[in-house]
Structure 1
């Protein structure tokens, strides 16, 4: 098997192995726990069956053109005769396509066993329509909603209308000639406007003509000052471009009005320190104190200790990256998690269905939570049995793209509570734009059009008809730590565990509403889970409640979030943003991210130093998963750097080391310093892989 990897061994000595058939197709993976994941193919190399680490079987069927037309999730048995012994539910999905191969319908049905007899238990359909000329998706609908999409002559999205439960919401978009989004139009017609520098970097955000925030940058285009009402947030960076400190001060030009609390103006004061590998090793905060972080040799969080209180969180993992309870870590129980299905963690018990979805969680206080899922493995019902004996029932609905549209409490006691019984959500792409309850509406503005870090919240109070503006203050990874009002008064602050659970918060203003946790995670108070777009995150154990919808494309452990939450983000609940995989790898297929190479494939094809003549020849070139906007922003930064050297956008250096150097600088400017979506350490690791690839092809 010349050139094919047979195993990889990490710094802890744990080995992950690969096996192939005679046709050089990957057939068996063996993880660090010694468990296997099997892949079977037909004679035309189509993948026809996967058997997961936990024994879950998924089968695929194709038409004569090789297009996927059926997917069956069997659970742990694909033999009907065996269902008498082990009753299970199967999900069968059928795909219909138009003449261009575009998906026009997905029909899903649930088949379950009753006394050894298969029985249909429900069908759902999702349909898609396209523009016959441009091929753009124009409409999608499922049993809960419909979404219509409109585009301009450059195929840019200019409108999205969602209809759910008889309510319609339209969000509009406008762009400048460079493709920057300059306006978002809310369903009620109010505009959010964005003003950019000539360099293309965001300078100002306003709502309905009123400035929300002004942004100042240094010569490297890094944000160094952000106005947030009567105060300003200041940011300093270390020589590697990492956030070193952040603090708030009074804005000198502001005239202060309104009642101020003692912390106004100085609501935020934090410092950060990193090790040579780029890991955050210390965070010093004026309220929570100094937190020190320790990692193992492969970057997994081992300990978070508060220097003032002496309190600490400690963590241990099995070789396949499953978190272990304290007892297991001490050798008092099993120290391997079977099939990556965690059954117990520090007093919390977990139970899964045959498809790997978490269906039961028992908390240490005696609370029992039961979960139900639809045919897309989306959480649609939660039944919470409280220790006091009362029961809450919540239901959830989603649009055709998997975005949550509503959550509603439906038990008999729902109307005796003063909390919202129903919340309706409006989306800006994959970011939460608005939420509506009987109290009014909340509108969210983010730090950038590509960012998932919240900047401001506008609350339109249904009770008094007034509008209230509040600001978020986020830490180095984008988690909100404080909220302030327009006068700089502290409204809310919180402290988190190492895995992103809010362990302590203080509502200085009792009506403050802060639902965000890790980037693009929304906290559900009823369950304690975090809605993370495509999945739900369980913050006690730092894992997702079900398997990754994109399977192995999102990582080897299908429940894993990341090695730690101090360095990694996963805004979609799929592949970690900034994850690196070889060009041509399936790692970036299906994740809606563009593959961006540090060593451009066009250079490899054109360089006289290599024998690469086409994109297929560049297979294996390290590529990072980026959103389309981030991908474009990096190439724009690259073009400016080339222009400074008298080069055109598609002119290249003779040697790969110079190409890597200029792309590294462009990616650092956009992804590390400005957007803050990856860390310096992640970028350096990608550079190492790019250098290795260039040397292999003798073009470094």
Structure 2
């Protein structure tokens, strides 16, 4: 999930923390005095988390210190079992759903059995690279690699996909894209220009703080972005040209916890309200009023629209079972054993959904017997759709779910910017959420508008909006016209209920069906993969070095090495010293540059060079320096303090800093459960 909050908070007291003697947080209090409380046992293990609404999530452990139970605010418990080496071997949900995993000696998952007792097998080569997926029936998936460990082939139910690379590990050929686009970047990895196959150029400018300040589209339209003193987007103004008239504008105001409190567009102000857990509870403006309530695990329990209340009922596994109005059920749901929505029943009849072994929706059949069907590649990416409009074949700038759609057979897209069909280009004018609320033509004339509620349900439109990229379309959300569902990466989202159709495959966060923690104006979820709040991080870019140690191009967020860096930053942000370091980087407007070097000089696993770059080997396994995660944290300290003299390794086992505290070395969570003596110097 991607937060839309600003980078820094100079005008406020900021979030405050209290800690125990092992630098573990005891309380976290935001500017609105909303407090989250943590409790630990004598071994330093987290035993409970109490949110600002006094909703408690508690945790149990086995003798080896492995978390075996999670009990949510509703009193419902998930139970985990582990292998001897500490890998999760099974998970039992509160509703009885049971799934299992098997592993090889290297910790790779070799088999997964879902709650339907269907087993998927996974194959790996001696280098630990995944080479195949074997399904119980149907076409399997295989992967091939070159000598540099780069994926070169994928054979799946849709055919064969191939990749080619240059010496800098940059993809030079990819079989799928129909049409192309090129991008130019500045030294911080920010996109400056995007040129599509029609030679239409989009240009971005940034202010001295590194924030996007202006975008110029190919038809000359200009979007100007303003920010408040806390770096939160305060306005967007769309104009016909640099000096031309205003087409539309929006202004935004936030509360002290960074929640959007008002939006003003065309002289109409919408006001938003939140509970102590920052869940959206109301949105209102002249002629429109909606309110929401939630239970202790973040399930919506009611929605009131225009004075009419609908109540929601969920089972022990957080599955929505019915919606009632005035005591009468207006919609009911059934699920399979894996917790996937199977049927939706209304007065119009029954809609039925089918899934494949990866829990991807393969077909939807409506009460009229009309059917939509969907196909996917071996990386979960939707590549085909058949609906009432005909057949769409999706071509992307890559093969994974975050790769932008460039074509669907009827139109060519520049994601978040424009689309071209029947020889004419339509341009999107988007709000802070990336929602294309207005579309214009080549002469900057408005051709269509659309408005949504906070959760993305379409409320009204004018003209004929073009394409599937409406609500949060700038982040890749795709709206399916027949079903009204939205595809967010791996999962389908129902904006009418504010829920996904299936559980989060990441199995993270407190509610695995919920969307953006019920704060749909504070973040977006392009992958549909994690239901957790992102910590505030400084801007960063990641590159891979070649075997001559020359840096390659900036990696996209979908790249696995980018994700490894992001995971480390998230981990570091959970510790006291790590959070202080990251806040320092944010306050000082730092942009971090991390280079992945697979054969790092010196064998230490990482270093901080004279040009201010972190150079890191994520596969380092040396005993002296510690784990790759600890090495990364250590080098991050160098980078943020810009201090080569007082932040360096002693060479002593288990203690790779002197005069300073490694951001993760004193946290028992990352130090094999053994907290070391806290050190507080920078």
TM category, shorter: 0.5 to 0.7
Measured after TM superposition, the shift of residue 444 of structure 1 is 3.9
Question: What are the superposed Cα offsets for residues 192-230 of structure 1, whole Å, 9 maximum, x if unpaired?
Answer: 3xxxxxxxxxxxxxx4xxx64344455666433333426
Measured after TM superposition, the shift of residue 633 of structure 1 is 7.7
2:216 and 2:223 in contact (8 A); partners too: yes
Matches of 1:367 and 1:467 in 2, distance apart? 45
Pairing partner for 1:373 from 335, 338, 345:
335
Pairing partner for 1:126 from 107, 119, 122:
119
Q: Which residue of 2 aligns with 1:160?
A: 154
Matches of 1:591 and 1:579 in 2, distance apart? 19
Pairing partner for 1:321 from 266, 271, 278:
278
Pairing partner for 1:414 from 358, 369, 373:
369
Pairing partner for 2:173 from 165, 183, 199:
183
2:207 and 2:213 in contact (8 A); partners too: yes
Pairing partner for 1:55 from 56, 68, 75:
75
Measured after TM superposition, the shift of residue 571 of structure 1 is 2.5
Aligned 1:301-340 pairs, distance under 5 A: 301-306=260-265, 308-310=266-268, 312-325=269-282, 337-340=295-298
Pairing partner for 1:290 from 249, 255, 276:
249
Question: What are the superposed Cα offsets for residues 403-435 of structure 1, whole Å, 9 maximum, x if unpaired?
Answer: x35232253x234xxxxx323233484654444
Counterpart of 2:92 in 1: which secondary structure? strand
Q: Which residue of 2 aligns with 1:276?
A: 229
Pairing partner for 1:20 from 34, 40, 48:
40
Measured after TM superposition, the shift of residue 318 of structure 1 is 1.5
1:441 is aligned to 2:415: no
Q: Which residue of 2 aligns with 1:233?
A: 202
Deviates more, 1:521-530 or 1:489-498: 489-498
Matches of 1:171 and 1:60 in 2, distance apart? 37
Question: What are the superposed Cα offsets for residues 514-564 of structure 1, whole Å, 9 maximum, x if unpaired?
Answer: 47745243324455443334544443575656765545x547998351655
Matches of 1:647 and 1:496 in 2, distance apart? 43
Query: Do the aligned partners of residues 515 and 273 (structure 1) sit closer, same or farther apart at CA in structure 2, a change above 3 Å counting?
Result: closer
Query: Do the aligned partners of residues 23 and 662 (structure 1) sit closer, same or farther apart at CA in structure 2, a change above 3 Å counting?
Result: closer
1:501 and 1:517 in contact (8 A); partners too: no
1:30 is aligned to 2:50: yes
1:138 is aligned to 2:138: no
Query: Do the aligned partners of residues 30 and 644 (structure 1) sit closer, same or farther apart at CA in structure 2, a change above 3 Å counting?
Result: closer
Aligned 1:348-497 pairs, distance under 5 A: 348-361=310-323, 368-383=330-345, 385=346, 389-400=347-358, 402=359, 404=360, 406-411=362-367, 413-415=368-370, 421-427=371-377, 429=379, 431-437=381-387, 439-446=390-397, 452=402, 454=404, 456-459=406-409, 473=428, 475=430, 478-480=434-436, 494-497=450-453
Pairing partner for 1:69 from 81, 89, 113:
89
User: Given the two structures, how large is their TM-score scaled by the length of structure 2?
Assistant: 0.66
Counterpart of 1:659 in 2: which secondary structure? helix
* 5+ residue gaps, structure 1: 76-89, 110-122, 187-191, 193-206, 250-264, 416-420, 583-589, 603-615, 625-630, 664-688
Counterpart of 1:276 in 2: which secondary structure? coil
Matches of 1:106 and 1:658 in 2, distance apart? 41
1:173 and 1:185 in contact (8 A); partners too: yes
Structure with higher helix content: 1
Query: Do the aligned partners of residues 399 and 480 (structure 1) sit closer, same or farther apart at CA in structure 2, a change above 3 Å counting?
Result: farther
Query: Do the aligned partners of residues 556 and 405 (structure 1) sit closer, same or farther apart at CA in structure 2, a change above 3 Å counting?
Result: closer
Q: Which residue of 2 aligns with 1:523?
A: 479
1:49 and 1:60 in contact (8 A); partners too: yes
2:402 and 2:526 in contact (8 A); partners too: no
Matches of 1:499 and 1:288 in 2, distance apart? 25
Question: What are the superposed Cα offsets for residues 361-417 of structure 1, whole Å, 9 maximum, x if unpaired?
Answer: 4689x994433333433334434x2xxx422513142453x5x35232253x234xx
Pairing partner for 1:107 from 79, 91, 113:
113
Q: Which residue of 1 aligns with 2:101?
A: 95
Query: Do the aligned partners of residues 183 and 539 (structure 1) sit closer, same or farther apart at CA in structure 2, a change above 3 Å counting?
Result: same
Aligned 1:445-594 pairs, distance under 5 A: 445-446=396-397, 452=402, 454=404, 456-459=406-409, 473=428, 475=430, 478-480=434-436, 494-506=450-462, 508=464, 512-514=467-469, 517-518=472-473, 519-525=475-481, 528-539=484-495, 548-550=504-506, 553-554=508-509, 559=514, 561=516, 563=519, 565=521, 568-574=524-530, 579=535, 593-594=563-564
User: Given the two structures, how large is their TM-score scaled by the length of structure 1?
Assistant: 0.65
Matches of 2:523 and 2:320 in 1, distance apart? 26
Question: What are the superposed Cα offsets for residues 549-592 of structure 1, whole Å, 9 maximum, x if unpaired?
Answer: 545x547998351655466555333056954599xxxxxxx999
Counterpart of 1:38 in 2: which secondary structure? strand
2:143 and 2:154 in contact (8 A); partners too: yes
Matches of 1:323 and 1:601 in 2, distance apart? 27
Matches of 1:528 and 1:274 in 2, distance apart? 33
1:151 and 1:158 in contact (8 A); partners too: yes
2:156 and 2:377 in contact (8 A); partners too: no
2:270 and 2:283 in contact (8 A); partners too: no
Matches of 2:165 and 2:512 in 1, distance apart? 40
Aligned 1:35-46 pairs, distance under 5 A: 35-46=55-66
Counterpart of 1:54 in 2: which secondary structure? coil
Query: Do the aligned partners of residues 172 and 550 (structure 1) sit closer, same or farther apart at CA in structure 2, a change above 3 Å counting?
Result: same
Q: Which residue of 2 aligns with 1:677?
A: none
Query: Do the aligned partners of residues 22 and 162 (structure 1) sit closer, same or farther apart at CA in structure 2, a change above 3 Å counting?
Result: same
* 5+ residue gaps, structure 2: 1-19, 240-245, 285-289, 412-420, 539-559, 584-590, 601-606, 618-630, 644-662, 668-677
Query: Do the aligned partners of residues 407 and 67 (structure 1) sit closer, same or farther apart at CA in structure 2, a change above 3 Å counting?
Result: same
Matches of 2:250 and 2:215 in 1, distance apart? 16
Matches of 2:381 and 2:401 in 1, distance apart? 9
Matches of 2:396 and 2:105 in 1, distance apart? 41
2:27 and 2:36 in contact (8 A); partners too: yes
Matches of 1:375 and 1:595 in 2, distance apart? 35
Query: Do the aligned partners of residues 432 and 93 (structure 1) sit closer, same or farther apart at CA in structure 2, a change above 3 Å counting?
Result: closer
Matches of 2:614 and 2:378 in 1, distance apart? 35
Counterpart of 1:134 in 2: which secondary structure? coil
Matches of 1:220 and 1:633 in 2, distance apart? 8
Query: Do the aligned partners of residues 491 and 452 (structure 1) sit closer, same or farther apart at CA in structure 2, a change above 3 Å counting?
Result: farther
Query: Do the aligned partners of residues 381 and 181 (structure 1) sit closer, same or farther apart at CA in structure 2, a change above 3 Å counting?
Result: farther
Aligned 1:630-645 pairs, distance under 5 A: 634-635=594-595, 645=611
Q: Which residue of 2 aligns with 1:151?
A: 144
Counterpart of 2:201 in 1: which secondary structure? strand
Query: Do the aligned partners of residues 232 and 662 (structure 1) sit closer, same or farther apart at CA in structure 2, a change above 3 Å counting?
Result: farther
Matches of 2:533 and 2:54 in 1, distance apart? 28
Query: Do the aligned partners of residues 174 and 317 (structure 1) sit closer, same or farther apart at CA in structure 2, a change above 3 Å counting?
Result: same
Q: Which residue of 2 aligns with 1:213?
A: 181
Counterpart of 2:394 in 1: which secondary structure? strand
2:468 and 2:480 in contact (8 A); partners too: no
Q: Which residue of 2 aligns with 1:174?
A: 164
Measured after TM superposition, the shift of residue 498 of structure 1 is 4.3
Measured after TM superposition, the shift of residue 322 of structure 1 is 2.6
1:270 and 1:283 in contact (8 A); partners too: yes
Matches of 1:399 and 1:632 in 2, distance apart? 40
Query: Do the aligned partners of residues 650 and 407 (structure 1) sit closer, same or farther apart at CA in structure 2, a change above 3 Å counting?
Result: closer
Matches of 1:72 and 1:59 in 2, distance apart? 5
Measured after TM superposition, the shift of residue 440 of structure 1 is 2.8
Matches of 1:485 and 1:456 in 2, distance apart? 19
Counterpart of 2:595 in 1: which secondary structure? helix
